């Protein structure tokens, strides 16, 4: 019997996962519920672990080869500048949209902090002052390569790989074998990703089942307006704004983009981790969206840690929400501070689940809002992290396509189909 295509299998898996999760949430105490959840947890973690297994060698090899190829053609500078400008512009836009939505729809109106006294009373927010946060970020950039590789520290790996990629080209013919080795390592890792993806329908179903079955329904209800505003705005950014920019700059239709990007978007949604999703993001960007290896290999891993539109948008909207709960109207100066801190938070945060919560404390502290309010946001965070991470990952794929068009194709005078 011929199996349906991988994409159809993933779609069926996701639908089954959500349905089973809904069914379990109706009977939380039943014996079969605990067993099913246990099984789903094992399977979901197995899928995540497999992705993490290839992550480090894949990122390392893909940046070294990408940078070496770009540097060899003296395109590095153009690609750098275009990538960073794109990241900066879209993150700015995301924060402005977050502010706009929170001002327009005013989530939090009619609620106040005292209503959540129980949650906030026992909560001690993990605090880190802004200067420490910046210092920690900068110190994390340059590390012992072996430590970074062993610890899976993506940002430090990106930096080491950048140096090695450039050095490979500067060294020229001498390092030909080493360069070839990295190219082959990359191919090898992508082959393994292909195998892991066969497990995606099951793995994603298990992750979605857990997500749906373990939501706290009462909190979802009282914070429903906030959840709807954040999710709606994040989707607006991901479905209208980013694809609109892509279409304007490259001519690629949203339909074509989403068709090529769906595996990565669904994986990001279900795992809430741009890092764990990265092997799938690279595969989609190179194989389905046909971005050159050297561009995708550079933009995607860098973007997975520094370009987080969804996170930035969320932090801006959530800061205004908490301010309203605390009965404070943030003036323009405070909103500007939130803007910069949210931007730094999104850049500094590694792409792992709920990490946005950590920088959220920073945002709140920066304008004197009570950081215990995080206790209200935490229980709903797994839910909000789904769309936020999908949009974070989408930004990296769209960035690759735009950088390819603006920094490479235009130079060659050719077009992306």
Residues forming contacts to ligand ASP in the complex (CB under 6 A) are 272-274, 308, 311, 349, 351-356, 385, 388-389, 392
Contact yes or no for 243/257 (Cβ under 8 A): yes
Helix 356-366 × helix 332-348 angle, to 10°: 150
**What is the smallest separation between the CB atom of 374 and ligand ASP, expressed in angstroms?**
13
Q: Which is nearer to ligand ASP, 165 or 303 (CB)?
A: 303
Q: Which is nearer to ligand ASP, 189 or 278 (CB)?
A: 278
Contact yes or no for 356/341 (Cβ under 8 A): no
Q: Which residues contact 42 (CB under 8 A, 6 or more apart)?
A: 206
Residue 396's nearest CA partner among 315, 308, 310, 311 is: 308
> What is the C-alpha to C-alpha distance for residues 240 and 122, in angstroms, rounded to an integer?
40
Containing 59, the helix (H) or strand (E) segment is helix 31-72
172: left (phi over 0), alpha (psi -120 to 50) or beta: left
**What is the smallest separation between the CB atom of 378 and ligand ASP, expressed in angstroms?**
11
Q: Which is nearer to ligand ASP, 83 or 387 (CB)?
A: 387
Residue 68's nearest CA partner among 188, 185, 190 is: 185
Position closest to ligand ASP via CB: 356
> What is the C-alpha to C-alpha distance for residues 13 and 1, in angstroms, rounded to an integer?
18
Q: Which is nearer to ligand ASP, 252 or 264 (CB)?
A: 264
Q: Which is nearer to ligand ASP, 9 or 307 (CB)?
A: 307
Q: Which is nearer to ligand ASP, 82 or 387 (CB)?
A: 387
> What is the C-alpha to C-alpha distance for residues 292 and 352, in angstroms, rounded to an integer?
26
């Amino acid at each position: 019997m011929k199996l349906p295509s991988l994409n159809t299998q993933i779609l069926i898996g996701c639908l089954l996962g959500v349905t089973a999760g809904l069914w379990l949430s109706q009977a939380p105490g039943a014996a079969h519920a605990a067993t099913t959840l246990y099984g789903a947890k094992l399977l979901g973690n197995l899928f995540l672990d497999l992705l993490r297994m290839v992550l480090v060698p894949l990122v390392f090899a893909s940046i070294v080869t990408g940078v070496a190829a770009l540097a060899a053609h003296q395109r590095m500078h153009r690609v750098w500048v275009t990538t960073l400008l794109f990241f900066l512009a879209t993150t700015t836009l995301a924060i402005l949209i977050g502010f706009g939505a929170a001002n327009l729809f005013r989530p939090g109106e009619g609620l106040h902090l005292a209503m959540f006294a129980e949650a906030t009373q026992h909560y001690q927010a993990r605090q880190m002052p802004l200067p420490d946060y910046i210092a920690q970020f900068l110190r994390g950039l340059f590390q012992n390569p072996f430590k970074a590789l062993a610890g899976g520290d993506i940002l430090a790996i990106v930096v080491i790989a950048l140096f090695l990629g450039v050095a490979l080209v500067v060294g020229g013919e001498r390092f030909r074998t080493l360069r070839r080795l990295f190219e082959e390592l990359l191919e090898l890792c992508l082959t393994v990703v292909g195998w892991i993806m066969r497990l995606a329908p099951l793995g994603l179903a298990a992750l979605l089942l857990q997500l749906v079955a373990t939501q706290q329904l009462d909190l979802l209800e009282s914070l429903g307006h906030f959840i709807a505003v954040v999710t709606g705005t994040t989707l607006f950014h991901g479905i209208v704004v980013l694809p609109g920019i892509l279409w304007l700059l490259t001519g690629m239709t949203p339909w074509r983009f989403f068709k090529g990007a769906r595996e990565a978007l669904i994986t990001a949604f279900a795992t809430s981790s741009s890092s764990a999703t990265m092997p799938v993001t690279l595969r989609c960007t190179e194989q389905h969206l046909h971005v050159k290896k050297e561009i995708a290999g550079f933009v995607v891993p860098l973007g997975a840690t520094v370009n987080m539109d969804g996170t930035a948008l969320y932090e801006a909207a959530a800061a205004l929400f908490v301010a309203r709960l605390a009965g404070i109207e943030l003036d323009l100066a405070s909103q500007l501070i939130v803007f910069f801190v949210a931007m730094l938070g999104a850049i500094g945060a590694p792409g792992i689940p709920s990490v946005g919560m950590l920088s959220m404390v920073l945002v709140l502290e920066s304008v004197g809002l009570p950081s215990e309010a995080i206790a209200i946001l935490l229980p709903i965070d797994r839910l909000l992290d789904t769309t936020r991470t999908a949009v974070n990952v989408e930004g990296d794929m769209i960035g690759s396509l735009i950088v390819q068009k603006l920094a490479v194709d235009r130079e060659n005078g050719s077009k992306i189909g």
